[in-house]
Amino acid sequence: MNAAKRLEIFRRLHEDNPEPKTELAYTTPFELLIAVILSAQSTDVGVNKATAKLYPVANTPEAIYALGVDGLSEYIKTIGLYNSKAKNVIETCRLLVERHGSQVPQTREELEALPGVGRKTANVVLNTAFRQLTMAVDTHIFRVSNRTGIARGKNVVEVEKQLMKFVPKPYLLDSHHWLILHGRYVCQARKPRCGSCRIEDLCEYKEKTSDD
């Protein structure tokens, strides 16, 4: 895909949604970090339902740590893999208190040292909470990038590097939000909604579908 096509793709996505946001509910960097940890292999809707009950009771590292694994599990048991997530969150809260003054660190290395935080989670927090130029590649972004031709790669790290290189600089900061939303609601896995797609004429996917 050439640079002119990419520029027009992101111009249109920006035009349709000038200030894209994550669909996870949060008010602080810490709440976002916990929500992203909980969102692995789960829906944002499901995570939001759980945190809507959790955060009014405990929304700081100290408060969630005080719940303990069993206490936290009661709030998040509707989320997939909640047992392992509860253990990771409690340990992450302990480390935030002991090593980071209860603040969410602002480097990928420090974030990835926390239990339950991988490269994608770290990139989401850095980008969304701290407005750093990072690219969090999830299954939606991986699919959309490869399918459209915006950025092709065999794994998420390859796609991340390609996107960081090829997404036009004026759109880079918010681009992962546009791509996630596009993958979630339009360029869906089983059957992309090409007939409703704002960028269909620019997309290089060869097996276009109708919306019938």
- 93 has binding-site annotation: no
**Cα distances (angstroms) measured from residue 184 to each of 3, 61, 191:** 25, 31, 11
Q: Is 201 a catalytic residue?
A: no
Catalytic pick from 120, 161, 174, 212? 120
Q: What is the CA radius of gyration of the chain?
A: 18
Write a three-state SS string for 141-168: HHHHHHHHCCCCCCCHHHHHHHHHHHCC
**Is 194 annotated as a binding-site member?**
yes
* Options 85, 138, 174, 191, the catalytic residue: 138
Q: Which amino acid is at 47?
A: V
**Angstrom distance (rounded) from CA 7 to CA 14:** 10
138 is catalytic: yes
Rounded Cα gap, residues 137 and 197, in angstroms: 21
d(CA 16, CA 8): 12
Residue 90, Cα to own-chain centre: how many angstroms? 21
- What the block records as the tokens of 158 is 């390859």
| Spatial distance between the Cα atoms of 159 and 54, rounded to a whole number of angstroms | 34
Residues known to be catalytic: 120, 138
Which residue numbers belong to the known binding site for [4Fe-4S] cluster?
187, 194, 197, 203
Which residue numbers belong to the known binding site?
187, 194, 197, 203
